[in-house]
Copies of this chain bind each other. A is one copy, B any other.
Amino acid sequence: MVARQNTVFKEAYNRYAVALRTDTALPSEPEIAAQLGVSRSTARAILTRLSEEGIIRWNKRQKIVLRQPTDHDLFPSEETDSLHDIIERSFMQRILADDAAPGMQINELELAREIGTGTTSVREFLIRFSRFGLIEKRPNSHWTLKGFTREFALELADVREMFELHSAAEFGRLPRDSQGWVDLAAIRDEHHAMLADINQRFKDFSVLDERFHLLIHRASKNRFIADFYDAIAIVFHYHYQWNKTAARQRNERAIHEHLDYIAALESGDQAAIETACRAHLHSARQTLLQSLPQIATETT
């Protein structure tokens, strides 16, 4: 019915409200907008509501926080998610569910109805999602789920290895005063910290893993590599929520490999970098293959 949900406003409102402290004065509208990463129009809408709710007193440049907002002042989390995120979550759950067999048809209208959204948004999502190689479309006809098959995992791993070897070599060539080395040292220390408390913290590894590989890939300064890594990150993000077997052991091993890999990068020795990178990629490939759903073999 409504053309568009004001989720940008609600999400930014929540974000801004929780950071408010009583009796402080707020900065100018353009500054607030920049802080929140929204337009000034949205920033003004936030100020308007804060004022209406009696959270701030607002008169031109004077913006005083009267009281701390409570949980009750915030918008519920269901209303702050962007439609794209809602569709993504919903769709990933469906295709990772047990009854989602490769070869299955995907129906735009049915999907839209189940998610409670229009078909246009679902269509656009599927078009964007198609670059991850998990779905495919025949023109004028339906989408087909290709699924998390062994073929998919192998093809993904092959490209990932080509790209990461390239990026790692580039990283090794970064000038010594570059920011990359500072970031790498910080990530190295985080690995050590996590290892020291591995029994408690092994679940946090996937976030660290993503940050580490992203740092490497940024060195390549290649948009195609960066895009591909985005795809990998999303696929892994959802996939590993479904496959948590032997996570502690697997993650501990990966941390050790990362540390070897980092040491090789810091040595600047290209041969050592390649060896350490290959070693890690080899075991990452095994992990990926082991995490596949059992039955998933292409049924085209």
Contact = CB atoms under 8 A, between A and B. Distances in A.
A120 interface: yes
Interface of A: 8, 39, 120, 123-124, 127-128, 131, 133, 140, 152, 155-156, 158-159, 162-163, 166, 220-225, 227-228
A227 B124 contact: no
A25 to B, nearest CB: 29
A34 B158 CA distance: 36
Contacts of A163: 162
Contacts of A39: 140
A248 to B, nearest CB: 31
Nearest to A123: B124
Nearest to A166: B162
A118 to B, nearest CB: 11
Contacts of A140: 8, 39
Contacts of A152: 223
Contact of A120 (B120, B133, B223): B120
Contacts of A227: 131, 133
